[in-house]
């Protein structure tokens, strides 16, 4: 790994020889509006020199703390440490966000080569005994009554971070921990890249006779993907959610539904260059070793210590409490779906790839609600403007689209967020549609986070990312209600980033608390008053009728057994992997089967997230 580091440094030197720091935007003050990243100036060649410079700068900042001859205080040790690494964070936030949304081979290569370097750098800090001595001195001797709640919490967190990252280990144990962390950094990155690449490369090319059951909008979307993928005059289904979910929901070709579903659940399990089955036990065993080395029985004990759940026992208690009623509900739903299969004159058994298709039939029959009837009311811009309106009603803030800010992709939109009096709050980027090289799912992240150190208010630059139904055939992106709820959910995370009022950037809240603001916002999506404001028919301009709102609310519990079991099964699987106390030669497929057999998962449903993706 020293060779890898040397190569990276040499690459950086060579690049910098060709392009000095003055030509690298990361080394200059950003003169863009609100100092957002100058995406139009940033090139791939800029990342390595800037990342390595970030490490050098943070090392010097740490040395200054260690070599300070003054007695350690909260101000000269804790606050100074918390403020270190800002240059590295600036570069990393841009690189990580771009790689998550616009990945390519070059960016993946940079990430793979830099991961062990960054890990070593982090270990150099957390295992720095002289630095820890100063932090411990402040922790042991601080006058807690003269510190604010935020300062006390920060002190506890930083001290705890050092303990949790091996500060109290012997020198021999620290060497072992460094080795584990380095291996994990490479393996976990490789795992994520393999899953993404395996999914991105798969496609199902259809001919016209394969389209039976698909609406015109689904056909147009598939034709558009075909053009993008080089299959002109054909139709293509991919493993992006807006493509495969509608196909499984409406396609009458059961054989093709099976192909698509099987491809989706087998990402990372195709015995090719992207296979993850051999990576999984390596990651699990390394996590076990690290947890044991740090004094924890299991990896789950280690992770949950900093959450509101606190212990694996508490997590299992909640999962078990929910499992039985949810499973009974799912079995009842499966019975209803099987009944439709028989009613239609078929004699096959319900399989996982049938669920979406027959669940939609139940929804239409039982609740008179058709997804295709709803979508015209959920044009993506209307939904987005709806959450903006809701935020205005709740918090008095406004959102103004800005067309003068640099963007990293044409479809991205940018908004300035303001207080009611016009005071600037921050910037929101929205990136809503799937494309090759973009990670699956939806998330919220940031290019810059709010802080207020020494009265220097830093305004946040946050980003909402989705993989929603794309505009096609002159129509806007028309969302399913599930996508609507996801947009509201992720916007809740964005609000959390935008409306924070804190001194320090350091995340001091429990990890599972982060979902609280997003869950609140998600629940607003189906409120009639809110629906009336954003659910506007994209052609007629008419608001959604009361009849449809009633149908949405009446159908709110439709398929909830299935959806709950999907999540719970994935949670049980995750916990079962990470409560293993001892290392072993694990076979991922066998382990997963045993885990699901233990909880009695019915074969018609699989975990939403399985081991190899």
Q: Using pLDDT thresholds of 50, 70 and 90, give the confidence band for residue 12.
A: low
* pLDDT, mean of residues 248-276: 98
Q: Where do the DSSP E strands lie in 279-423?
A: 398-402, 413-418
Q: How far apart are CA 423 and CA 420, in angstroms?
A: 7
Residue 444: predicted pLDDT:
98
The b-or-e profile of 7-39 (16+ CB within 10 A means b, else e) is: ebeebbeebbeeeeeeebbbbeeeebeeebbbb
| Nearest in space to 40 (alpha carbons), one of 404, 401, 402, 400 | 404
* Secondary structure (DSSP) of 209-261: GGGTT--HHHHHHHHHHHHHTT-TTSEEE-SSHHHHHHHHHH---HHHHHHHH
- Count of the separate structural domains present in the chain: 4
- Tokens for 524? 């607003």
User: What are the residues whose beta carbons fall under 8 Å from the beta carbon of 146, sequence distance 6 or more?
Assistant: none
Same domain for 333 and 467?
no
Residue 11: predicted pLDDT:
54
- Angle formed by the axes of helices 105-126 and 86-101, to 10°? 150
Same domain for 437 and 495?
yes
- Domain end (from 145, 168, 191): 168
Same domain for 564 and 485?
no
Please check whether residue 45 is in contact with residue 15, taking contact to mean a CB–CB distance below 8 angstroms.
yes
- Domain end (from 545, 568, 590): 545
| Nearest in space to 90 (alpha carbons), one of 129, 142, 36 | 36
3-state secondary structure 76-126: HHHHHHHCCCHHHHHHHHHHHHHHHHCCCHHHHHHHHHHHHHHHHHHHHHH
Same domain for 353 and 379?
no
Same domain for 22 and 101?
yes
* pLDDT, mean of residues 551-555: 95
Q: For residue 600, what is the DSSP state?
A: T
pLDDT tens digits for 206-227? 999 999 999 999 999 999 999 9
* pLDDT, mean of residues 519-530: 97
Q: Where do the DSSP E strands lie in 345-442?
A: 398-402, 413-418, 424-431
Q: Does any domain span residue 613?
A: no
Q: Where do the DSSP E strands lie in 381-487?
A: 398-402, 413-418, 424-431, 443-448, 451-453, 456-458, 461-465
Catalytic pick among 183, 490, 563, 604: 490
pLDDT at 8 over 80: no
The position carrying tokens 């630059």 is 461
Residue 380: predicted pLDDT:
98
Residue 6: predicted pLDDT:
44
pLDDT tens digits for 135-167? 999 999 999 999 999 999 999 999 999 999 999
Q: Does any domain span residue 444?
A: yes
pLDDT tens digits for 26-70? 999 999 999 999 999 999 999 999 999 999 999 999 999 999 999
Q: Using pLDDT thresholds of 50, 70 and 90, give the confidence band for residue 179.
A: very high
pLDDT at 4 over 70: no
Q: Does any domain span residue 191?
A: no
Span of 128-132, 506-510, 559-563 with lowest mean pLDDT: 506-510
Residue 335: predicted pLDDT:
98
| Nearest in space to 373 (alpha carbons), one of 164, 217, 574, 604 | 217
Same domain for 536 and 564?
no
Q: Does any domain span residue 418?
A: yes
Q: Does any domain span residue 307?
A: yes
Q: How far apart are the first and last CA of the chain?
A: 27
3-state secondary structure 13-42: HHHHHHCCHHHCHHHCCCCCHHHCCCCCCC
The b-or-e profile of 501-534 (16+ CB within 10 A means b, else e) is: ebbbbbebeeeeeeeebbeebbebbbeeebbebb
Question: Using CA of residue 211, residue 217, residue 223, residue 229, what is the dihedral sign?
Answer: negative
Strands 461-465 and 424-431: parallel
Q: Does any domain span residue 236?
A: yes
The answer to pTM > 0.85 is: yes
CATH number reported for the structural domain that contains residue 159 in this entry: 1.10.1370.40
Same domain for 508 and 581?
no
pLDDT tens digits for 160-174? 999 999 999 999 999
Q: How far apart are CA 465 and CA 97, in angstroms?
A: 10
Q: Using pLDDT thresholds of 50, 70 and 90, give the confidence band for residue 344.
A: very high
Same domain for 385 and 518?
yes
* pLDDT, mean of residues 9-22: 53
Length of the chain: 613
Largest CA distance in the chain: 85
The position carrying tokens 């020198």 is 171
- Domain end (from 518, 545, 572): 545
pLDDT tens digits for 299-329? 999 999 999 999 999 999 999 999 999 999 9
Q: Where do the DSSP E strands lie in 117-186?
A: none
To the query of whether residue 490 is one of the catalytic residues in this protein, the response is: yes
pLDDT at 20 over 70: no
Q: How far apart are CA 177 and CA 312, in angstroms?
A: 23
Same domain for 393 and 537?
yes
Q: Does any domain span residue 283?
A: no
pLDDT tens digits for 79-120? 999 999 999 999 999 999 999 999 999 999 999 999 999 999
pLDDT tens digits for 424-457? 999 999 999 999 999 999 999 999 999 999 999 9
Domain of 214? 202-265
pLDDT tens digits for 454-511? 999 999 999 999 999 999 989 999 999 999 999 999 999 999 999 999 999 987 788 8
Q: How far apart are CA 283 and CA 470, in angstroms?
A: 36
Same domain for 419 and 517?
yes
Q: Does any domain span residue 193?
A: no
Same domain for 456 and 308?
no
Same domain for 395 and 531?
yes
Burial (CB < 10 A; 0-12, 13-18, 19+), residue 253, is middle
- Tokens for 148? 């604010």
Query: What integer best gives the mean pLDDT of the chain?
Result: 95
Please check whether residue 564 is in contact with residue 528, taking contact to mean a CB–CB distance below 8 angstroms.
no
């Amino acid at each position: 790994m020293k060779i890898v580091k040397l190569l990276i440094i040499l690459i950086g030197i060579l690049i910098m020889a060709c392009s000095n720091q003055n030509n690298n935007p990361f080394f200059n003050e950003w003169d863009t509006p609100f100092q957002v990243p100058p995406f139009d100036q940033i090139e791939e060649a800029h990342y390595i020199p800037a990342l390595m410079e970030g490490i050098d700068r943070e090392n010097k900042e740490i040395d200054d703390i260690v070599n300070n001859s003054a007695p350690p205080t909260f101000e000269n040790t804790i606050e100074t440490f918390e403020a270190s690494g800002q240059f590295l964070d600036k570069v990393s936030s841009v690189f990580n966000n771009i790689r998550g949304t616009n990945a390519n081979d070059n960016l993946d290569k940079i990430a793979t080569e830099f991961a062990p370097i960054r890990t070593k750098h982090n270990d150099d800090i957390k295992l720095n005994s002289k630095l820890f001595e100063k932090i411990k001195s402040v922790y042991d001797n601080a006058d807690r009554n003269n510190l604010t709640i935020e300062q006390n919490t920060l002190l506890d967190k930083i001290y705890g971070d050092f303990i949790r990252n091996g500060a109290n280990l012997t020198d021999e144990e620290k060497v072992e921990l460094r080795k584990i962390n380095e291996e994990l950094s490479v393996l976990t990155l490789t795992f994520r890249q393999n899953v993404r690449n395996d999914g991105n490369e798969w496609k199902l090319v259809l001919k016209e006779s394969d389209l039976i059951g698909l609406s015109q909008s689904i056909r147009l979307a598939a034709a558009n993907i075909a053009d993008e993928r080089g299959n002109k005059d054909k139709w293509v289904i991919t493993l992006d959610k807006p493509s495969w979910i509608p196909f499984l929901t409406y396609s009458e070709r059961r054989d093709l539904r099976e192909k698509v579903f099987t491809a989706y659940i087998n990402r990372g399990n195709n015995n090719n260059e992207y296979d993850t089955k051999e990576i999984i036990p390596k990651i699990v065993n390394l996590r076990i070793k690290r947890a044991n080395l740090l004094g924890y029985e299991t990896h789950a004990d280690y992770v949950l210590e900093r959450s509101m759940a606190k212990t694996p026992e508490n997590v299992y208690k909640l999962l078990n409490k929910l499992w039985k009623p949810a499973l009974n509900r799912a079995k009842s739903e499966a019975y209803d779906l099987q009944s439709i299969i028989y009613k239609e004159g078929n004699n096959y058994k319900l399989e996982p790839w049938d669920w979406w298709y027959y669940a939609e039939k139940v929804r239409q029959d039982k609740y008179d609600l058709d997804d295709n009837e709803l979508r015209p009311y959920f044009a993506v811009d209307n939904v987005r403007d709806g959450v903006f309106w809701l935020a205005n009603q709740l918090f008095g803030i406004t959102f103004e689209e800005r067309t003068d800010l640099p963007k990293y992709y044409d479809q991205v939109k940018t908004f300035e967020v303001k207080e009611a009096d016009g005071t600037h709050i921050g910037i929101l980027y929205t990136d809503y549609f799937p494309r090759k090289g973009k990670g699956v799912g939806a998330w919220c992240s940031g290019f810059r986070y709010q802080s207020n150190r020494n009265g220097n208010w830093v305004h946040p630059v946050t980003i909402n990312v989705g993989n929603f139904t794309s505009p096609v055939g002159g129509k806007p992106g028309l969302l399913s209600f599930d996508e609507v709820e996801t947009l509201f959910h992720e916007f809740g995370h964005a609000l959390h980033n935008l409306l924070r009022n804190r001194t320090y950037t350091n995340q001091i809240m429990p990890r599972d608390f982060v979902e609280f603001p997003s869950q609140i916002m998600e629940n607003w999506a189906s409120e009639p008053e809110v629906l009336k404001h954003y659910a506007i028919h994209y052609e007629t301009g008419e608001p959604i009728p009361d009849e449809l709102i009633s149908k949405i609310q009446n159908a709110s519990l439709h398929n909830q057994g299935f959806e709950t079991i999907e999540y719970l099964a994935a949670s049980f699987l995750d916990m079962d992997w990470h409560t293993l106390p001892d290392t072993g030669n694990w076979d991922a497929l066998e382990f997963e089967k045993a885990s699901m057999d233990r909880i009695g998962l019915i074969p018609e449903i699989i975990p939403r997230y399985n081991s190899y993706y």
